A and B are shown apart, each in its own frame.
Chain A
Amino acid sequence: MNLRSPLGQARGLGSAKDGTHHFWVQRVSAVALIPLSLWFVFSVANLAGADYEQVRWWVGYPAVAVTLVLFIAAALYHSMLGVQVVIEDYVGNEAAKITALLLSKFLHLVVAVASIFAVLKVALA
């Protein structure tokens, strides 16, 4: 039984498109971020007072660099998904909404790539 009005059906409104996937990967990234965030917060706290060379040495440590990259990727992916929901909630104008969504996606990608590049640059030096 279809509850959509003919106009809604013609406009293509009503479906969350790939909402299930979004819901799921948001939870998966959330679960990954539980240990990763705790590790990150306590690692950074531990680095308080460290100088430039000490921080470089820490980031250069292979296990640390790998975990950092994983944290950055998971956090920015999770963030991108979350910001998408917020934009969809508050931006009514269709053109503005799509613009904002694209900007958000691209910005998250840029920040992720730049951060991961920086980690690799330090770790592989």
Chain B
Amino acid sequence: MSTSKSTAPNRPLSPFMIGPYYKPQLTSMLSITHRLTGMGLAGGTLLLAGWLIALASGPQAYAAYAGHIGAWYGQILLLGFSWALLYHLCNGIRHLFWDIGMGLEVDAAYRSGYAVIAVSAALTVVVWLFACLT
């Protein structure tokens, strides 16, 4: 942590994960994506709050918000937010299975990992189709 002039021997530190020392694997890539989507969703709560506050503030405020969301950058943000949510949801369920001790074997983890990618992508498509068709 901070400076410590301890008399303990200088023990080796594990190398930084991203770099030449660790081969990227499905497990580690999905794990960091889970963290990244989590942080993205945390920021995305501001989008949600903005929407609700605009709704409560009156028609002009709401029209301004809707204008930004409807623009190309708003739609990209919305797509990213929806995919992040669905990915984090699917991988979160994968984590919950691990928490009760299921699926921790390497082959099971890989299979569930591919399933998470497929299902989150499929759900994103379903949600957006649903939005466009209603």
Bind each other: yes
Q: Is the CB of B49 within 8 A of A118?
A: yes
- Chain B positions within 8 Å of A108 at CB level: 42, 45
In the bound complex, CA of A37 to CA of B46 (Å): 16
- Chain B positions within 8 Å of A100 at CB level: none
Q: What bracket does the count of chain B residues touching chain A fall in? A: 35 or more
Determine if B86 is an interface residue (Cβ-Cβ < 8 Å).
yes
- Chain A positions within 8 Å of B93 at CB level: 34
Determine if A72 is an interface residue (Cβ-Cβ < 8 Å).
yes
- How distant is A26 from chain B, measured CB to nearest CB, in Å? 10
- B105-134 Cβ-contact flags toward A at 8 Å (1 or 0): 000000000000000000000011011101
Contact of A118 among B46, B53, B92, B128 (CB under 8 A): B53
Determine if B6 is an interface residue (Cβ-Cβ < 8 Å).
yes
Interface Cβ pair total, 8 Å cutoff: 90
Q: What bracket does the count of chain A residues touching chain B fall in? A: 35 or more
Q: Is the CB of B82 within 8 A of A41?
A: yes
Q: Is the CB of A79 within 8 A of B48?
A: no
- Chain B positions within 8 Å of A75 at CB level: 41, 45
Q: Is the CB of A52 within 8 A of B45?
A: no
Contact of A48 among B55, B62, B85, B134 (CB under 8 A): B134
Determine if B18 is an interface residue (Cβ-Cβ < 8 Å).
no
In the bound complex, CA of A52 to CA of B96 (Å): 38
Q: Which residues of A does B touch, CB under 8 Å?
A: 5, 7, 27, 30-31, 33-34, 37-38, 41-42, 44-46, 48-49, 52, 55-56, 59, 72, 75-76, 79, 82-83, 86, 92-94, 108, 111, 114-115, 117-119, 121-122
Other A-B pairs, 8, CB within 8 Å; known A79-B45, A111-B45, A122-B52? A27-B96, A34-B92, A37-B85, A41-B82, A41-B86, A42-B127, A55-B62, A86-B38
